């Protein structure tokens, strides 16, 4: 699900001086700077269906043992 939740990084191209102040080439305005910017795209939400109480009960039941647990809602078949 990494590709779904990560999103896309944005970019902005700026020229700065030695003190970190943004410099503009002569004759350019701030409006033209917008063309050098690519906005970030947020990722999509991922909704998990596991219940926290069930997770805690499974952790307690396994103790120091290693294993796995599959929990299915018998009404819907949802994991």
CA–CA gap between residue 10 and residue 29 (Å, rounded): 21
In a domain, 69, yes or no: no
- The answer as to whether 35 is a domain residue is yes
Residue 27 forms part of a structural domain: yes
Instruction: Please check whether residue 75 lies inside any domain of the structure.
Output: no
DSSP 24-75: --TT--HHHHGGGEE--BPPPP------HHHHHHHHHHHTT---------TT
- Show the domain range for 29: 2-45
Residue 29 lies in a domain: yes
Residue 18 lies in a domain: yes
> What's the pTM?
0.42
pLDDT digits (tens, 9 = 90+) for 8-67: 999 988 788 899 888 876 656 555 555 578 899 999 998 877 788 988 998 999 999 998
Does residue 8 form part of some domain? yes
Per the structure, the count of domains in the chain is 1
Is residue 7 included in any domain, yes or no? Answer: yes
57: phi > 0 → left, psi -120 to 50 → alpha, else beta; which? alpha
């Amino acid at each position: 699900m990494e590709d779904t939740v990560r999103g896309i990084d944005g970019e902005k191209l700026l020229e700065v001086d030695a003190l970190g102040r943004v410099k503009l080439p002569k004759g350019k305005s701030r409006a033209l700077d917008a063309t050098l910017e690519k906005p970030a795209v947020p990722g999509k939400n991922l909704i998990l269906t596991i219940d926290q109480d069930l997770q805690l009960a499974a952790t307690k039941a396994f103790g120091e043992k290693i294993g796995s647990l599959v929990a299915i809602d018998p009404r819907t078949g949802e994991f």
